[in-house]
C-alpha cells in the first residue's frame, strides 16, 4: 500500500488491519484513528507491538518512517531483543545525572536509616554543588577528590569522611542500577579525606561557661535569643541537638515538669521521660511566646514546606560565627570573638559532654548520669536494670541547672509573666 491508498482506507472508514510491508500493518479503529502495528515471532511466540500513530510528525509516523522503524525493530528482534519486553523495561525511572541517582539513593536511605536527613544534608550541601548536574557515567575520581579536599579546606575533616562514605554508597547504588562499570569513589580511604577521627574530649569548665554566655549576651546580632536559650537547654539537659530542635509542645507536661521524648526521635530508639528542673520553666515560658502558636518549640524562622522547625545547621552556624569560621554578607571573614576571650574552640555537641562532666563533678552516680543522657547501658546491667531513676535524674539535672543559673545573668534568663 502507498500513502494514497492508506488515506483512502482511513477515509472509507474500513476497520481492521491491512498489510503494508513485511510484518507491518496499518490498523484502523472504530474511532477512525490509524496506527502502525508490527507482527513478529520471537522465542517461538507470535507477538505484535504498536510502533506509533499514523500521521504527520512529530505526533504521527508517515509511511516512510513507519517502514524504517519496522526495519530497525526487526533487526533488533533478529538479535534476540524483544521490543515488548524492552518497552516494559523502559518503564523504570531514567537516571541521567548524579542528582537523579541521588534522589533514588536517598529514598532508599529513608527506608532503612533512622536519620536519613544526615546523608541528605551532606549530599545537598557538599556533594551536589560539584557533581549533581553531571552525567552519572562522567564522574571520575578527580571529581571525588575535589569534593573531599574542598570540605577539608573548610576545616571539617569529619564531614569530609562522611562525604566520601556517602559518595561510595551513592555510586554503589549507581552500579546496582547498571549505570556504571566502576565506582569513582572506591580508590579513596579516610586517609585521603579527613583522616582517622579521634574521639572528642572537649568539655567546658564553669569559668568557660560563664565567659561564653556573657559573650553571647553581648553579641545578640550573631547569637539570637532563641539560639541562646537552645544552647542553655542543651547544656542543662544534656539532650542531643536533634532531639531538642524538633521538640513539640505536645511532648511537654509543665504541671509535672516532664518532657516525654518519643522513641522515634531518640538515637537509641528508646523513649524517655526527661525531668525538667523548675528553674527552666521561665525559659520555656519565653519560648512558648516566641513560638507564636507553632506546634514546635523552635519553629522554622522562614516559611518552609520541607520542615516546620529550625535547620539542623542553625545552632552550628551561629556558634561557628562566634569563632570566626564564617563570613559576613560581604564575604569578609568574621572575627573570632570567642577566641579573643580565651575560649578554645568547641562545637554544639560538646555541650552534651560538658553536661556529663558537670554531673560527675556534682557527685551524681555514673548509672544515673548515663541515664540522664539516655545512653544505652552495656552488658548484664543494661539487661536487668530497668529502673528509670526519674527522681534521681530530676535531682541531678536540677543541680546542673542551679550551677548554670548561678553563673549566668539571671535577668537574661528569666521573664516575670507566667504563661502556664
Q: Which helix (H) or strand (E) holds 212?
A: helix 206-217
Distance CA 60, CA 36 (A): 10
240 and 356: one domain? yes
Q: Which residue is listed with cell 509543665?
A: 254
| Confidence band, pLDDT 50/70/90 cuts, at residue 413 | low
Residue 254 has pLDDT above 50, yes or no: yes
Residue 381 has pLDDT above 60, yes or no: no
344 and 223: one domain? yes
Residue 306 has pLDDT above 80, yes or no: no
149 and 279: one domain? no
| Confidence band, pLDDT 50/70/90 cuts, at residue 142 | very high
Cβ–Cβ under 8 Å, residues 11 and 26: no
Distance CA 171, CA 181 (A): 10
| Confidence band, pLDDT 50/70/90 cuts, at residue 114 | confident
Please identify, among 88, 117, 134, the residue that sits at the C-terminal boundary of a domain: 88
| Confidence band, pLDDT 50/70/90 cuts, at residue 270 | confident
Q: Print burial letters for 343-369: b (CB count within 10 Å at least 16), e (below 16).
A: beebbbebbbbbbbbbbeeeebeebeb
CATH for 147: 1.10.150.130
280 and 303: one domain? yes
Q: Identify the pLDDT of residue 328.
A: 72
Give 100-115 as a DSSP string.
HHHHHHHHHHHHH-S-
Q: Identify the pLDDT of residue 249.
A: 96
Inside any domain, residue 73: yes
Q: What share of the chain is helix, strand, coil (3-state, %, to 5)?
A: 50, 10, 40
Inside any domain, residue 200: no
| Residue 389 structural domain | 206-413
300 and 322: one domain? yes
Residue 384 has pLDDT above 50, yes or no: no
| Confidence band, pLDDT 50/70/90 cuts, at residue 226 | very high
- Give the number of domains in the chain: 3
Average pLDDT, rounded, for the chain: 88
C-alpha cell at 417: 509573666
Segment 30-52 shows an average pLDDT of 91
184 and 215: one domain? no
Give 32-89 as a DSSP string.
S-EEEEEEEEETTEEEEEEEEEBSSTTTSB-HHHHHHHHHHHHHHHHTT--HHHHHHH
387 and 252: one domain? yes
Please identify, among 88, 117, 151, the residue that sits at the C-terminal boundary of a domain: 88
C-alpha cell at 119: 546523608
C-alpha cell at 41: 515471532
312 and 242: one domain? yes
Q: Tell me: the pLDDT tens digits for 168-212?
A: 999 999 999 999 999 999 999 989 888 776 667 889 999 999 999
Inside any domain, residue 332: yes
Q: Identify the pLDDT of residue 418.
A: 45
| Confidence band, pLDDT 50/70/90 cuts, at residue 93 | confident
Poorest-confidence range of 41-50, 188-197, 315-324, 355-364?
188-197
Q: Identify the pLDDT of residue 218.
A: 92
274 and 401: one domain? yes
Distance CA 338, CA 354 (A): 17
218 and 269: one domain? yes
Residues of the chain with pLDDT > 70, as a percent, come to: 93
215 and 304: one domain? yes
139 and 246: one domain? no
Distance CA 163, CA 158 (A): 9
Residue 59 has pLDDT above 70, yes or no: yes
Amino acid at each position: 500500500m502507498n500513502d494514497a491508498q492508506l488515506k483512502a482506507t482511513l477515509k472509507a472508514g474500513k476497520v481492521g488491519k491491512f498489510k503494508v510491508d513485511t510484518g507491518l500493518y496499518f490498523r484502523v479503529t472504530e474511532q477512525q484513528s490509524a496506527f502502525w502495528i508490527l507482527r513478529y515471532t520471537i522465542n517461538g511466540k507470535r507477538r505484535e507491538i504498536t510502533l506509533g500513530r499514523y500521521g504527520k510528525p512529530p505526533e504521527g509516523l508517515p509511511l516512510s518512517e513507519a517502514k524504517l522503524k519496522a526495519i530497525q525493530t526487526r533487526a533488533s528482534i533478529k538479535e534476540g531483543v524483544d521490543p515488548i519486553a524492552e518497552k516494559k523495561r523502559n518503564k523504570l525511572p531514567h537516571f541521567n545525572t548524579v542528582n537523579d541517582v541521588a534522589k533514588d539513593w536517598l529514598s532508599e536511605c529513608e527506608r532503612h536509616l533512622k536519620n536519613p536527613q544526615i546523608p541528605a544534608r551532606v549530599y545537598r550541601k557538599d556533594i551536589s554543588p560539584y557533581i549533581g548536574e553531571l552525567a552519572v557515567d562522567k564522574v571520575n575520581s578527580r571529581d571525588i577528590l575535589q569534593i573531599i579536599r574542598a570540605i577539608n579546606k573548610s576545616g571539617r575533616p569529619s564531614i569530609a569522611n562522611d562525604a566520601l562514605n556517602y559518595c561510595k554508597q551513592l555510586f554503589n547504588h549507581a552500579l546496582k542500577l547498571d549505570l556504571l562499570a566502576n565506582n569513582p569513589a572506591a580508590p579513596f580511604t579516610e586517609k585521603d579525606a579527613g583522616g582517622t577521627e579521634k574521639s572528642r574530649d572537649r568539655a567546658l569548665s564553669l569559668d568557660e561557661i560563664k565567659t561564653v554566655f556573657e559573650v553571647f549576651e553581648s553579641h545578640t546580632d550573631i547569637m539570637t535569643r532563641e539560639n541562646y536559650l537552645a544552647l542553655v537547654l542543651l547544656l542543662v539537659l544534656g539532650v542531643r541537638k536533634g532531639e531538642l530542635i524538633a521538640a513539640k509542645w505536645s511532648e511537654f507536661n509543665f504541671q509535672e515538669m516532664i518532657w516525654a521524648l518519643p522513641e522515634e526521635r531518640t538515637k537509641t530508639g528508646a523513649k524517655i521521660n526527661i525531668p525538667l528542673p523548675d528553674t527552666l520553666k521561665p525559659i520555656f515560658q519565653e519560648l512558648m511566646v516566641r513560638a507564636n502558636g507553632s506546634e514546635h518549640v523552635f519553629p522554622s524562622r522562614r516559611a518552609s514546606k520541607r520542615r516546620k522547625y529550625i535547620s539542623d545547621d542553625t545552632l552550628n552556624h551561629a556558634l561557628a560565627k562566634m569563632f570566626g569560621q564564617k563570613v559576613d554578607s560581604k564575604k569578609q571573614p568574621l572575627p573570632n570573638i570567642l577566641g579573643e576571650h580565651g575560649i578554645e574552640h568547641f562545637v554544639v555537641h560538646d555541650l552534651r559532654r560538658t553536661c556529663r562532666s558537670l554531673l560527675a563533678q556534682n557527685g551524681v552516680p555514673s548509672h544515673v548520669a548515663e541515664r540522664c543522657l539516655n545512653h544505652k547501658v552495656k552488658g548484664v546491667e543494661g539487661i536487668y536494670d530497668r529502673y528509670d531513676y526519674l527522681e534521681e535524674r530530676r535531682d541531678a539535672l536540677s543541680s546542673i541547672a542551679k550551677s548554670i543559673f548561678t553563673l549566668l545573668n539571671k535577668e537574661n534568663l528569666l521573664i516575670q509573666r507566667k504563661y502556664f
